Amino acid sequence: MPLLIENHKIERTSTTAEFFAKYPLLQENAEAFRAKALVNVDPKCLLYVQQREFAATTPADNSVSVIGSDDATTCHLVLVRHTGSGAACLAHCDGSSTWSEVPLIVKAVTTLSSQTKEGRLELHLVGGFDDESNTSHSLSLSLLAAFQKQKEDIHLVTCCITELNDILTEGIHRPVVYGIGVNVKTGEVFPASFPCRGPAEELRSARTFTGGQMADIYDSSKQQVKIGPCKWSPNRDIKFWLTQDDDTILKYLSTSPLAEPPHFVPHIKTTIQFLLDHPNPDSLFPKGQPQQFRRTEQGDWERVA
């Protein structure tokens, strides 16, 4: 079934500009979303999603109140939510495998909503900007096309992407909104930032840095984060990057060097150091089992023995 706006089937367009011109309601909704106050999310209620990860849960989850992700420049944050069950899935997509990722996101929500008779699937897209290489434009169009191919009716509610998420500051284009959260209890979607990106932040970043594909990081039935097992080959050559200046790292390791947040370079260096410290990932996953984490009474994630 088609992707819908106000119960009308969306028509395919060849550019994002043409798409936004055809559906002015999306421009109004994006403007309203950009105007929302930025929320600094408490880590004790948060399930954080990194690049090439997705996570889904329901309002019945006692360990998670907010699913969130940020640091999206050319990347897009994709949220699908079922209004009847309240089940929500948030993914951080970078265009690596959009056509295989979108069905995973939709299935995560429909599976958690299988016993619900009422409600509909709603889609919120946030991220990207008017970048020089048109990486954001390409990802926007790919995501819209992939959602149009799903068999379920999906209603596009928020579309704050690419041109609609762009601001020009001192001659430099940047995203207005870098991150979002969804309150899984109420369904509210909002711009967000996150002081904590755990658990296992370095391990998860290393998985993506070495080419890992989109991964489901949460088991809502057990209310546990699960990471891996991961595979990568030892590579001492990456030590080269630890000696490079910030501009060089940004130029070669970012899709949007002028738009990255200040912590991008330190994050890259920490990830590379983790890979150097753990050349054999098998040692991180005893007996080939994933690393699993559960929420403590204090609100922290602790590793399950």
Task: Give me the DSSP letters along 230-278.
Answer: ------GGGGGGGGS-HHHHHHHH-S-TTT--TTHHHHHHHHHHHHHH-
Return the bridge partners of 159, or none.
Answer: 125
Q: Are 190 and 181 in contact (CB under 8 A)?
A: yes
pLDDT computed for residue 289 by the predictor: 95
For residues 255 and 74, give the distance between their C-alpha atoms in angstroms, rounded to a whole number. 7
Render each residue's pLDDT in the chain as its tens digit; 305 residues.
589 998 899 988 899 999 999 999 999 999 999 999 999 999 999 999 999 999 999 999 999 999 999 999 999 999 999 999 999 999 999 999 999 999 999 999 999 999 988 999 999 999 999 999 999 999 999 999 999 999 999 999 999 999 999 999 999 999 999 999 999 999 999 999 999 999 999 999 999 999 999 999 999 999 999 999 999 999 999 999 999 999 999 999 999 999 999 999 999 999 999 999 999 999 999 999 999 999 999 999 999 98
Point out which residues pair with 91 in neighbouring strands.
54, 78
Closest CA to 227 of 179, 137, 157, 292: 292
pLDDT reported for residue 178? 98
* The predicted structure's pLDDT at residue 11: 87
Rounded CA separation 220/113 (Å)? 13
Paired with 226 in beta bridges are: 292
- In three-state secondary structure terms, 219 is strand
Share in percent of the chain as helix, strand, coil (round to 5): 35, 25, 40
Residues 37, 190: Cα–Cα separation, whole Å: 8
